[in-house]
Amino acid sequence: MYKYEHNRTLSTAASVQLVQNMLYFRRFFPYYISNVVAGLDADGNGVVYSYDPIGHCSKSTYHAGGSSTSLIQPLLDNQVGLKNIENAERKELTKEDALKIVKDAFISAAERDIYCGDGISIKIVTAAGTETQTFDLRKD
Protein backbone atom coordinates (compact mmCIF):
# COMPACT_ATOMS: atom_id res chain seq x y z
CA MET A 1 0.00 0.00 0.00
CA TYR A 2 2.82 2.38 0.96
CA LYS A 3 4.62 1.70 -2.32
CA TYR A 4 1.59 2.67 -4.39
CA GLU A 5 0.73 5.75 -2.33
CA HIS A 6 4.28 7.15 -2.11
CA ASN A 7 5.83 5.59 -5.22
CA ARG A 8 8.81 4.20 -3.27
CA THR A 9 9.65 1.25 -1.06
CA LEU A 10 9.05 1.47 2.67
CA SER A 11 12.36 2.19 4.42
CA THR A 12 13.48 0.48 7.62
CA ALA A 13 13.06 3.73 9.56
CA ALA A 14 9.49 4.09 8.30
CA SER A 15 8.75 0.46 9.21
CA VAL A 16 10.09 1.08 12.71
CA GLN A 17 7.87 4.12 13.11
CA LEU A 18 4.82 2.26 11.76
CA VAL A 19 5.19 -0.58 14.28
CA GLN A 20 5.85 1.94 17.06
CA ASN A 21 2.64 3.84 16.23
CA MET A 22 0.56 0.66 16.03
CA LEU A 23 1.77 -0.50 19.45
CA TYR A 24 1.36 2.92 21.06
CA PHE A 25 -2.23 3.28 19.85
CA ARG A 26 -3.00 -0.04 21.60
CA ARG A 27 -1.25 0.98 24.83
CA PHE A 28 -4.38 0.54 27.01
CA PHE A 29 -5.04 -2.94 25.57
CA PRO A 30 -1.56 -3.89 24.36
CA TYR A 31 -0.50 -6.75 22.17
CA TYR A 32 1.68 -9.01 24.30
CA ILE A 33 4.00 -10.12 21.56
CA SER A 34 7.70 -9.77 20.92
CA ASN A 35 8.27 -7.38 18.03
CA VAL A 36 11.61 -7.17 16.25
CA VAL A 37 12.25 -5.13 13.09
CA ALA A 38 15.52 -5.69 11.24
CA GLY A 39 16.83 -4.08 8.08
CA LEU A 40 19.36 -1.69 6.63
CA ASP A 41 19.67 1.95 7.67
CA ALA A 42 20.22 4.86 5.28
CA ASP A 43 23.97 4.14 5.23
CA GLY A 44 23.49 0.46 4.32
CA ASN A 45 24.42 -0.85 7.79
CA GLY A 46 22.37 -3.55 9.50
CA VAL A 47 20.13 -2.46 12.37
CA VAL A 48 17.75 -4.26 14.70
CA TYR A 49 14.93 -2.61 16.66
CA SER A 50 13.06 -4.27 19.51
CA TYR A 51 9.90 -3.05 21.20
CA ASP A 52 8.13 -3.25 24.52
CA PRO A 53 4.32 -3.83 24.50
CA ILE A 54 3.46 -0.11 24.36
CA GLY A 55 5.77 0.87 21.52
CA HIS A 56 9.04 2.00 23.07
CA CYS A 57 11.83 0.78 20.80
CA SER A 58 15.54 0.34 21.23
CA LYS A 59 18.17 0.03 18.53
CA SER A 60 20.91 -2.59 18.65
CA THR A 61 23.00 -4.75 16.38
CA TYR A 62 21.42 -8.05 17.53
CA HIS A 63 18.36 -9.14 19.49
CA ALA A 64 16.37 -12.29 20.23
CA GLY A 65 12.60 -12.32 20.64
CA GLY A 66 9.87 -14.86 21.26
CA SER A 67 9.46 -17.78 23.62
CA SER A 68 13.14 -18.77 23.41
CA THR A 69 14.50 -15.31 24.21
CA SER A 70 15.87 -16.33 27.60
CA LEU A 71 17.80 -19.17 25.96
CA ILE A 72 19.08 -17.42 22.81
CA GLN A 73 19.90 -13.91 24.07
CA PRO A 74 22.73 -15.00 26.44
CA LEU A 75 24.36 -16.93 23.60
CA LEU A 76 24.13 -13.88 21.31
CA ASP A 77 25.53 -11.66 24.06
CA ASN A 78 28.50 -13.96 24.38
CA GLN A 79 29.20 -14.80 20.73
CA VAL A 80 28.17 -11.57 18.98
CA GLY A 81 28.36 -8.93 21.71
CA LEU A 82 31.49 -10.50 23.24
CA LYS A 83 30.15 -9.91 26.75
CA ASN A 84 31.79 -11.82 29.60
CA ILE A 85 34.83 -12.62 27.48
CA GLU A 86 38.15 -11.26 28.70
CA ASN A 87 40.51 -9.66 26.16
CA ALA A 88 38.12 -10.31 23.30
CA GLU A 89 38.88 -8.57 20.03
CA ARG A 90 35.86 -7.28 18.18
CA LYS A 91 35.91 -8.45 14.59
CA GLU A 92 33.29 -8.26 11.90
CA LEU A 93 31.26 -11.44 11.52
CA THR A 94 31.13 -13.04 8.12
CA LYS A 95 27.80 -14.18 6.73
CA GLU A 96 28.80 -17.82 7.27
CA ASP A 97 29.82 -17.18 10.91
CA ALA A 98 26.55 -15.36 11.61
CA LEU A 99 24.52 -18.19 10.09
CA LYS A 100 26.41 -20.75 12.16
CA ILE A 101 25.69 -18.81 15.37
CA VAL A 102 21.98 -18.46 14.50
CA LYS A 103 21.65 -22.16 13.70
CA ASP A 104 23.51 -23.19 16.87
CA ALA A 105 21.35 -20.87 18.98
CA PHE A 106 18.10 -22.29 17.63
CA ILE A 107 19.28 -25.91 17.86
CA SER A 108 20.11 -25.33 21.54
CA ALA A 109 16.82 -23.54 22.19
CA ALA A 110 14.77 -26.27 20.49
CA GLU A 111 16.16 -28.82 22.95
CA ARG A 112 14.73 -26.88 25.92
CA ASP A 113 11.72 -24.93 24.58
CA ILE A 114 8.82 -26.90 23.12
CA TYR A 115 7.37 -23.73 21.57
CA CYS A 116 10.48 -23.13 19.47
CA GLY A 117 9.18 -25.31 16.65
CA ASP A 118 10.61 -27.90 14.32
CA GLY A 119 12.37 -25.61 11.85
CA ILE A 120 13.42 -22.05 11.16
CA SER A 121 13.32 -19.77 8.19
CA ILE A 122 16.29 -17.41 8.17
CA LYS A 123 15.98 -14.14 6.25
CA ILE A 124 19.35 -12.71 5.23
CA VAL A 125 19.07 -8.99 4.44
CA THR A 126 21.82 -7.38 2.37
CA ALA A 127 22.06 -4.35 0.13
CA ALA A 128 21.64 -6.71 -2.84
CA GLY A 129 18.31 -8.04 -1.55
CA THR A 130 16.83 -10.65 0.73
CA GLU A 131 17.75 -14.33 0.78
CA THR A 132 15.82 -17.06 2.60
CA GLN A 133 17.25 -20.26 4.05
CA THR A 134 15.23 -22.92 5.82
CA PHE A 135 16.70 -25.25 8.39
CA ASP A 136 15.17 -28.22 10.27
CA LEU A 137 15.73 -28.24 14.02
CA ARG A 138 14.28 -31.62 14.95
CA LYS A 139 14.12 -34.79 12.98
CA ASP A 140 12.14 -36.88 15.46
Torsion-angle region of 5 (φ positive above 0: left; ψ -120 to 50: alpha; else: beta)? alpha
pLDDT tens-digit series, residues 13-28: 999 999 999 999 999 9
pLDDT tens-digit series, residues 49-86: 999 989 899 999 899 988 889 999 999 999 988 888 77
By three-state DSSP, how is residue 131 classified? Answer: strand
